[in-house]
Structure 1
Amino acid sequence: MKRGAATALTCAGLLLAAPPVAQAYQVDCAILICLAGGWPGSTECNEARSVFISRITPWPVEPPLQIWNCPLGVTYRPPEDENALSLLYEAVSRPRPTVPRPFPAVLEEVLIPRPEKDEMLSLIADYADDNGVADVDISGAEYDFVRSIRVYNVEYARQRESGDGDCRRSEKVRVGTYGVQGDFSWSGSSVASLPDAFKGLAGWGEGCPSLYRRAVFIDWTDYQGNYGFEQVDY
């Protein structure tokens, strides 16, 4: 394993083992290790997951993991003979549900003021452009879980049958992905590219059921390849 991976996992192992202290760690370091470990059930990982999801909740839509804010290059470096993976196993072994159950909307209990239609469409297109790269080399396979993160912003997707029997569809979808060194970028996408776990557009392009959806969807795989996702409808 590369030195950079050992640095990240060691930093995170110390984070998970320590009692919670406000602002005692960079939240993006917590997101990094908690994501890798499948979001183990700890106070720090619960907070990290909350930040991870809130960043993709409009508005604006931000990179959920901002690895450039985690100072990997200045953290404690373990001895060469220390196995950094043991720290990850410690994180994974913490109590958590056997199969984490993704939930469809993190704002289920929160009432959000609804702006007028034109204002809403303007807000939907609001994306944060803050970006950077990790301060150590994360190009190795041990960091593939970072590059697995995808953020789909379905600004709108409409399908309905017109009065003359034609099926009318319109959509605007963008996808955010991570590069080799953790840099985040947006590109155009489509409803057809949405993961199977996305809810609310079943039947798109098959017949013409009436459909309408606005949502942000994020998915990832952890260090061991386990799949996870969240969807926020708005």
Structure 2
Amino acid sequence: MPPTILQASGLPGLDPSDLIRVNAESGSADIDISGIEFDFVRSIRVWDVRHYSHRERGEDGDCEERFSMRLGTYGAQGDFAWHPATPSAAPTWVLPSRSCSWGSTRRGVGVEWEDHEGNHGFEWVSY
């Protein structure tokens, strides 16, 4: 039995029958999202800050920074993977300050994206 074609809408200039096919026997989908029209998927980044702190330490007032964080990204076909991350790579909405005078701890998850029109957005949830 040939694959069933699903219909999709909202993606200008795309023929959905070229993108989405469901195998009738297994019910699994085979979707090609490698084209530039799906760059918005690859733009999604997930920041997992398990712990971040900084404070003055010692007699010289040196700044000690401690962290445990990672960054999740999507690949060409939507495969998700975690990667080690450092505070210097994080945008300011993830770590508002790395100054010792801020003297704070931070823990949470943030998601950022760029929509199909190129608009950047993000959301942060502390826990």
What do the CA deviations read for 1:193-228 (whole angstroms, capped 9, x no partner)?
A: 112333xx3330x45431200010100011111111
Provide the rounded CA distance (Å) in 2 between the counterparts of 1:157 and 1:211: 8
Equivalent position of 2:82 in the other structure: 186
Q: SS in structure 2 opposite 1:145?
A: helix
How far apart are residue 168 of structure 1 and its match?
1.2
TM-score, length of structure 2 as denominator length? 0.74
In structure 1, which of residues 216, 223, 226 is the aligned counterpart of residue 109 of structure 2? 216
Q: Could you say what the CA RMSD is over the residues aligned between the two structures, in angstroms?
A: 2.4
User: Is there any run of 5+ residues in structure 2 with no aligned partner, and where?
Assistant: 12-19, 23-28
Equivalent position of 2:32 in the other structure: 137
In structure 1, which of residues 198, 205, 227 is the aligned counterpart of residue 120 of structure 2? 227
Q: Does the aligned pair in 2 maintain the 1:167–1:208 contact within 8 Å?
A: no
Structure having the larger proportion of residues in strand: 2
What do the CA deviations read for 1:122-156 (whole angstroms, capped 9, x no partner)?
A: xxxxxxxxxxxx72221100000000000010110
In structure 1, which of residues 202, 206, 224 is the aligned counterpart of residue 96 of structure 2? 202
Q: What are the equivalent positions in structure 2 for 1:109-120 lying under 5 Å apart?
A: none
How far apart are residue 191 of structure 1 and its match?
1.5
Q: SS in structure 2 opposite 1:195?
A: coil
- 1:11 partner letter: A
Structure having the larger proportion of residues in helix: 1
Q: Does the aligned pair in 1 maintain the 2:45–2:112 contact within 8 Å?
A: yes
Provide the rounded CA distance (Å) in 1 between the counterparts of 2:65 and 2:52: 8
Q: Does the aligned pair in 2 maintain the 1:161–1:209 contact within 8 Å?
A: no
- 2:44 partner letter: I
In structure 2, which of residues 47, 54, 59 is the aligned counterpart of residue 159 of structure 1? 54
Q: What are the equivalent positions in structure 2 for 1:56-135 lying under 5 Å apart?
A: 72-74=20-22, 135=30
Q: Does the aligned pair in 2 maintain the 1:160–1:211 contact within 8 Å?
A: yes
User: Is there any run of 5+ residues in structure 1 with no aligned partner, and where?
Assistant: 1-6, 14-32, 34-71, 75-133
Q: Does the aligned pair in 1 maintain the 2:45–2:72 contact within 8 Å?
A: yes
> Do structure 1's residue 146 and structure 2's residue 94 form an aligned pair?
no
Q: Does the aligned pair in 1 maintain the 2:44–2:113 contact within 8 Å?
A: yes
Percent identical: 44
Equivalent position of 2:68 in the other structure: 172
In structure 2, which of residues 1, 8, 13 is the aligned counterpart of residue 11 of structure 1? 8
Instruction: From the superposition, tell whether residues 226 and 151 of structure 1 become closer, same or farther in structure 2 (CA, over 3 Å).
Output: same
Provide the rounded CA distance (Å) in 1 between the counterparts of 2:84 and 2:91: 15
